[in-house]
């Protein structure tokens, strides 16, 4: 299935020919995520992204082969980014992406991860509708919305967005990481480098023209133009758009994710602290299903190359989990997941006992 670039019009078109298609580029880094690729790309193509620059590193489940096929079908541009990486694979990829034509020629850019899904609540739920709702915006930080495990134990080959529909309240006072965002920003020369959460290397002479709006349409303070990587805790920043963050998945799949390790240097695994910080299941939220990508997804599965590669990636995930269960450390982690209930939402008063007595300092690199 070969696709043509979708129209993602929006924002300032004064320097473009009238009617020209605006290009919105997503930058993605993956390793051993083949089982989830087709749903992710179908959704974000339907959402309005016109280009995908995808870096893969050190894959053993066929993710890189799937990306090669998707590139051949016109869906994306694939760059191999195998290690070792002294600074981590994601930062290594972003440094390469800075110079890539798909980034340099884009009108809007957003670095994003495979477990993050853009969920727009305005108009027809696409990027053009979002940009039309915020016509002055030069950047829109999309705040995470944690979607918990909801008691799903076995990994099954079903769409993530249909399986995990329980999430955190819109107003969450703790953990502060729940307010982290990824930034959709206009690529007008105001920033020199990509970052994981926000664009970096700001041009100080251009900062006065910046207009950042959160996912509820509020104009943000000037500090967001240069440094901030999370919106205010305890405030709903999701009324126009949210970033659905499916960080956990099924318990079996989470064990495999922990075996893969973190994309950040010096972090060798993700364990129970990561799980507890994100396992919220208080609210039912199926809003993302209002944007249908089933036809695109089904066409990708029907491709004679992609279909078998997807099934092989699913089988790899099952096999990897079984292999890990032969080791005591992984059995212990799996047991703890089974024993741990969903995360309890802290009241504002409870959260204040943490952040007022002990002011937080973030060491997360943007």
Asked if residue 293 is part of any domain, the answer here is yes
Tokens coding 195: 């970052």
Quote the pLDDT of residue 262: 54
The reported pTM is: 0.92
Q: Apex CA 130: angle with CA 126 and CA 132, to 5°?
A: 115
* Range scoring the smallest mean pLDDT among 210-214, 264-268, 314-318, 327-331: 264-268
Asked if residue 295 is part of any domain, the answer here is yes
Asked if residue 285 is part of any domain, the answer here is yes
What would the pLDDT profile of 21-61 be if each residue is shown by its tens digit?
899 999 999 999 999 999 999 999 999 999 999 999 999 99
Average pLDDT over every residue of 121-140? 98
What would the pLDDT profile of 148-165 be if each residue is shown by its tens digit?
999 999 999 999 999 999
Given a cut of 80, whether residue 268 has pLDDT beyond it is no
Asked if residue 28 is part of any domain, the answer here is no
Domain count for the chain: 1
Q: Find out whether 25 and 53 touch, Cβ atoms under 8 Å.
A: yes
Asked if residue 119 is part of any domain, the answer here is yes
Asked if residue 77 is part of any domain, the answer here is no
Quote the pLDDT of residue 17: 41
Q: Is the dihedral angle over the CA atoms 309, 310, 315, 319 positive or is it negative?
A: positive
Q: Find out whether 210 and 138 touch, Cβ atoms under 8 Å.
A: yes
Quote the pLDDT of residue 6: 44
What is the percent of the chain where pLDDT is above 90? 86
Given a cut of 80, whether residue 363 has pLDDT beyond it is no
What would the pLDDT profile of 278-311 be if each residue is shown by its tens digit?
999 999 999 999 999 999 999 999 999 999 999 9
What would the pLDDT profile of 176-187 be if each residue is shown by its tens digit?
999 999 999 999
**Residue-number span of the structural domain to which 182 is assigned:** 114-355
Quote the pLDDT of residue 129: 97
What would the pLDDT profile of 82-128 be if each residue is shown by its tens digit?
988 888 999 999 999 999 999 999 999 999 999 999 999 999 999 99
Mean pLDDT for the chain? 92
Quote the pLDDT of residue 344: 97
Asked if residue 209 is part of any domain, the answer here is yes
What is the percent of the chain where pLDDT is above 70? 89
Asked if residue 324 is part of any domain, the answer here is yes
């Amino acid at each position: 299935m070969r696709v043509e670039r979708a129209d993602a019009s929006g924002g300032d078109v004064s320097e473009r020919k009238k009617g020209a298609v605006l290009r919105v580029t997503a930058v993605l880094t993956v390793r051993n995520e083949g089982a989830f690729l087709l749903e992710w790309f179908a959704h974000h193509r339907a959402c309005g992204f016109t280009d995908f620059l995808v870096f893969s590193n050190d894959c053993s489940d066929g993710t890189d082969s799937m990306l090669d096929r998707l590139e051949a079908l016109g869906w994306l541009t694939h760059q191999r980014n195998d290690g070792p990486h002294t600074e981590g694979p994601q930062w290594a990829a972003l440094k390469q992406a800075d110079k890539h034509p798909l980034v340099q020629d884009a009108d809007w850019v957003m670095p994003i991860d495979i477990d993050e899904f853009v969920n727009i609540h305005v108009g027809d739920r696409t990027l053009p509708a979002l940009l039309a709702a915020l016509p002055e915006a030069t950047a829109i930080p999309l705040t995470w919305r944690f979607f918990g495990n909801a008691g799903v134990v076995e990994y099954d080959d079903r769409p993530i967005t249909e399986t995990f529909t329980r999430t955190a309240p819109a107003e969450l006072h703790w953990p502060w990481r729940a307010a982290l965002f990824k930034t959709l920003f206009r690529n007008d020369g105001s920033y020199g480098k990509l970052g994981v959460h926000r664009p970096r290397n700001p041009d100080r002479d251009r900062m006065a023209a910046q207009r950042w709006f959160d996912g509820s349409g509020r104009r943000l303070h000037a500090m967001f133009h240069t440094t901030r990587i999370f919106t205010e805790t305890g405030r709903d920043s999701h009324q126009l758009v949210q970033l659905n963050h499916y960080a956990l998945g099924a318990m079996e799949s989470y064990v495999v994710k922990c075996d893969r390790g973190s994309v950040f240097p010096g972090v060798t695994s993700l364990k129970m602290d990561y799980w507890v910080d994100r396992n919220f299941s208080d609210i039912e939220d199926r809003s993302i299903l209002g944007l249908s990508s089933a036809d695109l997804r089904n066409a990708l599965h029907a491709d004679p190359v992609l279909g078998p590669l997807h099934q092989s990636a699913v089988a790899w995930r099952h096999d990897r989990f079984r292999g890990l269960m032969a080791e005591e450390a992984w059995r212990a982690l799996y047991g703890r997941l089974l024993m741990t209930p969903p995360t309890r939402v802290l009241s504002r008063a409870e959260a204040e006992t943490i952040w007022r007595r002990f002011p937080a300092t973030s060491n997360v690199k943007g």
